Amino acid sequence: KIYHDEDTDITIVQSKVVSFIGYGNQGRAQALNLRDSGVNNIVIGNIDDDYAKQAREDGFSPVSIEEAARQGDILMLLIPDEDQQTVWNEKIRGNIKPNSTLVVASGYNVAFNLLTIPDDMDVVMVAPRMIGAGVRDRYVQHIPYPCFVSVEKDPSGTALATCLSIASAIGATRGNGAVGSSCREEAGIDLFAEQALWPEIMAIFREGFNVLREAGFSEEAILFDMYLSKEPAEIFERAADEGFVKQLKYHSRTSQYGQLSTMNRHDGKDIREKFHHILHDNILSGKFAEKWSNTKWAAEELAKEWKEVENAPIVQADERVRDVIKPDRKK
Ligand code: NDP
């Protein structure tokens, strides 16, 4: 289901107190968009630091997160996903106004039941597929942008109307409209891209480099051909604009034949089995979310992975080639 401006009633959000928990990438952009859409009762909850300073410069009067939770009919939970559970338990949960609405911009914490939600609270997702600066710039320039919306809990019976009202006020139902989804779907696809799709693509580039290097080709030539030329970025841009396969028409006939004949014979069985395992056993089972909630473990594991990747031949070659093409880059 796609929702357009005409499906929405902006007066719903205009009549509420909207509290922002967090004034970072998404928080700032969405708060400014709401204000410009005629939402006058906006409360910013943040500790007194640079984010709060930014909020003051933008004309808001930030309060503590606890106070923002107490005042809000609508709570926009816009702090990093990995911090949401702790902040929810320590600062928000005990201060929530009765019959209020929780709005998340990513499905993760709701999909994996990491937040204990009061029975009378509506829960909706308004998840722009865009960085905060893009959400703000496009709103100002009246350009549509993609966004997922969903209703996750609806004790009031009016959660969809509230959700669409917020989406409309941040500019997410313009043009092609906002896409009906769910926290499970949004988080599932997002984590799948992070844990299956992109690692496979990175490993393919790594192995491509290794095979070409073993054949005696120079690392400069390999890396320029693989990505330093920015050709992959251009290919993906054409794929988004004109079609995943149709973009091949911009390649030579030799290239078209090479790509199609190999891809059409690739049965993908091994990759499919691996992807299936990652999606079902690791992501949708909640196993990953449970592990990742242990913030100490998560920080240590991430640091270990960074250390390990430093030794990969493609990473070391990347550094050497950059030293040659941009000798001043470390000064
Ligand atoms: P940011 O990293 O920009 O958030 C920074 C804000 O979070 C600041 O106000 C900061 O305040 C606050 N914050 C950080 N840590 C804590 C903490 N431990 N306790 C209290 N407040 C904290 O987040 P984003 O805007 O990137 O992400 C917010 C949500 O939007 C997430 O759910 C994310 O998945 C989603 N999203 C993000 C997109 C993006 O492109 N960035 C795109 C679409 C969705 P302070 O440090 O002062 O406490």
**Does residue 140 lie in a domain region?**
yes
Ligand 1 atom closest to Cα of 128?
A: 43
- Residues 219, 110, single domain; the answer is no
Residues 36 and 139 in one domain: yes
Does any domain span residue 330?
A: no
Residue where a domain stops, chosen among 130, 165, 181: 181
Q: Round to whole Å and give the CA distance between 315 and 29.
A: 35
Are 192 and 243 part of one and the same domain? yes
Q: Domain check: are 176 and 200 in the same one?
A: no
- The first and second tokens of residue 97, run together, are 């106004």
Angstrom distance (rounded) from CA 54 to CA 320: 39
Residue 327 has pLDDT above 80, yes or no: no
User: Which positions ≥6 away from 235 have C-beta within 8 Å?
Assistant: 247
Same domain, yes or no: 234 and 313: yes
Residues 170 and 229 both lie in one domain: no
pLDDT digits (tens, 9 = 90+) for 159-172: 999 999 999 999 99
Residues 114 and 51 in one domain: yes
**pTM for this one?**
0.89
Residue nearest ligand 1's atom 10 by CA: 22
- Say how many Å lie between the first and final Cα of the chain, rounded: 52
Count of structural domains, the chain: 2
User: What CATH number corresponds to the domain at position 120?
Assistant: 3.40.50.720
Q: Which atom of ligand 1 is nearest to the CA of 52?
A: 47
Which residues sit with their C-beta closer than 6 Å to ligand 1? 22-27, 46-47, 49, 51, 78-81, 83, 87, 105-106, 127-128, 131-132
pLDDT at 165 (0 to 100): 98
Of how many residues is the chain composed? Answer: 331
Which of 129, 163, 181 is at the close of a domain?
181
Nearest-angstrom CA–CA distance, 146 and 128:
6
Q: What is the dihedral of CA 72, 76, 79, 81, to 10 degrees?
A: 130
Could you tell me if residue 331 is inside a domain? no
Average pLDDT, integer, range 216-226: 97
Distance 287 CA to ligand 1 centre (A): 23
Q: Is 144 within a domain? A: yes
Q: How large is the ipTM?
A: 0.98
Task: Supply the mean pLDDT for the chain.
Answer: 96
Q: What is the mean pLDDT of residues 16-23?
A: 98
* Residue at a domain's end among 181, 210, 229: 181
pLDDT digits (tens, 9 = 90+) for 169-201: 999 999 989 999 999 999 999 999 999 999 999
Give me the domain span that covers residue 120. 2-181
Average pLDDT over every residue of 233-252: 96
